[in-house]
């Protein structure tokens, strides 16, 4: 049976995260109140507001019912709480991809940067075949060509292009790379897809979080619900920065 001390610790962790989510909802709503004419930014901040609002609602629900879980082992409740805590992170990543793809379709300059880089790679591919391919070689070339053309929708290729063209900086790139490594772990039941060692400061408190996982290790922090949300906040900011810097392209 869970102790009173453990229940109180979980309540504080959940309350602190709920407050951070509430602050993000307020920021998003204030932004939407100020910005009326930049539709792509509004779509992004609307997605942020909806995601954080729903996650805050989930947290409120578990806070109201946490006493009903006293019979569970600590590990089981920690896992349950951790999965709720990381949900906003995963939803923000999904929305980031959707808004980015929409922005690329609408933004001629950014789309051109991606297409030019793909064209360079296609040229190298063409030059690597000294004779006209046949049979399996022809199928391989067709497959590689298709993969290269589809890179315009591939987040790793997009963020590399953004870095190369100084649209994001190295820290932004590292943060996005880490975030997608974590998101992709969901396909392996939230276990690390590779060794991870990443540090990032909470800009609100100055505390530096370190994410150190070995491949195959579970990716939740049983005694910390803020760390992944610190990354979530930065992902929100990075896309907003990209949209604002290139809104007239």
**Cα distances (Å, whole numbers) of residue 50 to 80, 92, 194:** 22, 10, 31
**In terms of pLDDT, which residue wins out, 31 or 190?**
31
- For residues 51, 187, 217, 211, the Cα torsion angle rounded to the nearest 10 degrees is -40
- Are residues 127 and 75 in contact, defined by beta-carbon separation less than 8 angstroms? no
- Are residues 45 and 240 in contact, defined by beta-carbon separation less than 8 angstroms? yes
Mean pLDDT calculated for residue range 21-50: 94
Phi, psi of 93, deg, nearest 5? -60, -45
Mean pLDDT in the chain? 88
Mean pLDDT calculated for residue range 220-233: 81
pTM for this prediction: 0.89
pLDDT digits (tens, 9 = 90+) for 46-100: 999 999 999 999 999 999 999 898 888 888 888 888 888 888 999 999 999 999 9
pLDDT of residue 133: 59
How confident is residue 122, by pLDDT bands cut at 50, 70 and 90? confident
Question: Beta strands of the chain (E only): which ranges?
Answer: 196-201, 208-213
pLDDT of residue 45: 97
Mean pLDDT calculated for residue range 219-239: 85
pLDDT above 60 (res 207): yes
- Are residues 178 and 231 in contact, defined by beta-carbon separation less than 8 angstroms? yes
How confident is residue 130, by pLDDT bands cut at 50, 70 and 90? low
pLDDT above 60 (res 213): yes
pLDDT of residue 244: 85
pLDDT of residue 135: 60
pLDDT above 60 (res 248): no
pLDDT above 70 (res 249): no
Contact residues for 178 (Cβ-Cβ < 8 A; gap 6+): 196, 198, 200, 211, 231
């Amino acid at each position: 049976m869970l102790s009173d001390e453990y229940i109180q610790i979980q309540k504080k962790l959940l309350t602190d995260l709920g407050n951070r989510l509430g602050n993000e909802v307020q920021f998003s709503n204030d932004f939407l109140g100020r910005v009326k004419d930049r539709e792509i930014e509004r779509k992004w901040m609307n997605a942020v507001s909806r995601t954080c609002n729903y996650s805050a609602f989930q947290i409120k629900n578990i806070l109201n019912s946490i006493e009903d879980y006293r019979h569970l082992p600590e590990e089981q409740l920690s896992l349950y709480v951790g999965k709720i805590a990381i949900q906003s992170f995963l939803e923000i990543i999904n929305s980031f991809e959707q808004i980015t793809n929409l922005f690329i379709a609408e933004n001629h300059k950014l789309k051109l940067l991606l297409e030019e880089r793909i064209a360079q790679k296609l040229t190298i591919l063409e030059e690597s075949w000294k004779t006209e391919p046949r049979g399996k070689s022809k199928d391989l070339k067709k497959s590689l060509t298709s993969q290269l053309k589809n890179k315009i929708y591939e987040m790793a290729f997009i963020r590399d292009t953004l870095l190369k063209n100084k649209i994001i900086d190295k820290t932004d790139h590292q943060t996005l790379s880490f975030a997608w490594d974590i998101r992709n772990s969901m396909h392996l039941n939230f276990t690390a897809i590779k060794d991870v060692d990443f540090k990032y400061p909470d800009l609100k408190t100055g505390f530096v979080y370190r994410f150190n996982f070995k491949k195959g290790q579970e990716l939740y922090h049983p005694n910390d619900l803020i760390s992944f949300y610190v990354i979530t906040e930065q992902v929100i900011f990075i896309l907003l920065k990209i949209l604002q810097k290139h809104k007239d392209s």
